Structure 1
Amino acid sequence: MSTALVVLSGGQDSTTCLYWALHRFGHDQVEALSFDYGQRHRIELDCAQQIAALAGVAHTILPINTFAALGGNALTDAVITVQTGVDPLTALPNTFVPGRNLIFLTFAAAFAYPRGIRDLVTGVAQTDYSGYPDCRETTLHALEQALRLGMECAITIHTPLMFQSKADTVRLAQALGALPALAYSHTCYNGQQPPCGECPACLLRAKGFAEAGIADPLLARFRGLNQ
């Protein structure tokens, strides 16, 4: 029986957290959970599957497509394009999916409960982040308490990247041996492979690798394919 469940989006941070969990809990004690939530770019689910296979962990994709019905953001609504800056009404980027991390972790806890898993791992961070309020430590602490009360079990939400800069997470990924898996991760908000290099997510990823002085294995992989 597994001990820890990693919320795996197929992105840079969740991939790093998967390898953190492997080191923290042991290789045979970790499994991964991804969500098919109606995201426009299905490539991230393919990436999550590939990364889980590379790591040798069990992986489940849970369908929760309500977000697509809600719309109103650039990650689920096809008529909204990714924009830099923030919405003047909400002061948040238009890539913010309201309630997404709260709902992901609640479903993760519900998935974990009957399996005897009490440790959830997520890659949220409030240091180098996109302004999302559901990535803050206070939010995650409140959710953890709500889950413990609502399920009457000692659920713990681990956020190993909470106060790490993107450069710090790149260095951590290197230390954990996660760089080969990051070659198959997906960050681009525009859903492009190779990544567009221009959206906020691509720029933040590039900044992290540049500041860490480490080549991005994702870009190296595509350069190799084109040679």
Structure 2
Amino acid sequence: MKNKRALVVFSGGQDSTTCLFWAMKNFDYVEAVTFNYNQRHSLEIECAQNIAKELGVKHHILDMSLLNQLAPSALTRGDIEVKDGEEGGLPSTFVPGRNLLFLSFAGVLASQIKADHIVTGVCETDFSGYPDCRDVFIKSMNVTLNLAMDGQFAIHTPLMWLNKAETWELADQLDAFQFVREKTLTCYNGVISDGCGECPACKLRQRGLEDYLASRGGK
């Protein structure tokens, strides 16, 4: 994949930052795009900006505020409680159509910067029940993008079949373990690094971290 250009869908969280490091290793030129949909914490965008700047990656921020209007969820409304789904239902943090729109707009931007590769951190192993994180959706979206734009895009999902412990392991293999642990924002309550420890995202991240550290002897 060398001598290729890639665009990374980037939130500044653990998964997308790991994907950014992965892309920087596998492609010659990388840019990142963050979507502002008036998410619960503006700090998420600031975190993404800071990481991109530190890594020397050109960073785009696109206005997706319409998504906030169309799809109320705990990630777009401060008055909606963050909680897991009940009786097999989706968690309150699910934003309908988010990855569908993100990848569509990423495809348009990728065509403008002449990038044939799009990288996203979606994962079916630890996907919290989000239907737009499934491999079947990504494959379908890849076909749709190419048909809609007469392109040759390839959507890459380095984390698709990894659990959180394996995602930490990948970050370590990329020499990015401490960077990801200390500088990313995964927490639904807006706490950088190890987070609040209470929200579902923090619990998933911390459990994966503990499992990975245990697998390498706690070091």
The residue aligned with 1:153 is 151
Alignment of 1:139-178 (within 5 A): 139-178=137-176
The residue aligned with 1:18 is 20
The structure-2 alpha-carbon separation of the partners of 1:173 and 1:193, relative to structure 1 and needing over 3 Å to count, comes to closer
Letter in 1 for 2:185: H
TM-fit CA distance, 1:71: 4.1
Distance 2:72 2:105 in 1: 22
Any stretches of 5+ residues in structure 1 without a counterpart?
A: 215-227
The residue aligned with 1:4 is 6
The residue aligned with 1:192 is 191
Distance 1:93 1:123 in 2: 19
TM-fit CA distance, 1:179: 2.2
TM-fit CA distance, 1:65: 0.4
Query: Contact 1:36–1:61 at 8 Å: present in 2 too?
Result: yes
The residue aligned with 2:47 is 47
Query: Contact 2:165–2:209 at 8 Å: present in 1 too?
Result: yes
- TM-score with structure 2 setting the length: 0.91
Query: Contact 1:87–1:94 at 8 Å: present in 2 too?
Result: no
Distance 1:136 1:22 in 2: 24
Query: Contact 2:184–2:192 at 8 Å: present in 1 too?
Result: no
The residue aligned with 1:181 is 179
Letter in 2 for 1:122: T
Query: Contact 1:120–1:157 at 8 Å: present in 2 too?
Result: yes
Q: Which runs of 4+ in 1 moved over 6 A?
A: none
TM-fit CA distance, 1:114: 2.0
TM-fit CA distance, 1:165: 0.8
SS of 2:183's equivalent in the other structure is coil
Residue 136 in structure 1 maps to residue 138 in structure 2: no
The residue aligned with 1:74 is 74
TM-fit CA distance, 1:110: 0.5
Distance 2:73 2:198 in 1: 18
The structure-2 alpha-carbon separation of the partners of 1:112 and 1:79, relative to structure 1 and needing over 3 Å to count, comes to same
Task: State percent identity of aligned pairs.
Answer: 48
Alignment of 1:116-131 (within 5 A): 116-131=114-129
Distance 1:161 1:153 in 2: 24
**What are the Cα deviations for residues 5-30 of structure 1, in whole angstroms up to 9, with x where unaligned?**
0011010000000000011113xx01
TM-fit CA distance, 1:115: 1.8
Greater Cα shift, 57-66 or 68-77? 68-77
**What are the Cα deviations for residues 171-225 of structure 1, in whole angstroms up to 9, with x where unaligned?**
10011022243111001112234621011000000011100007xxxxxxxxxxx
C-alpha root-mean-square deviation of aligned residues, in Å?
1.6
Distance 1:58 1:180 in 2: 22
Greater Cα shift, 49-58 or 10-19? 49-58
- TM-score with structure 1 setting the length: 0.88
The residue aligned with 1:218 is none
The structure-2 alpha-carbon separation of the partners of 1:158 and 1:168, relative to structure 1 and needing over 3 Å to count, comes to same
Greater Cα shift, 53-62 or 92-101? 53-62
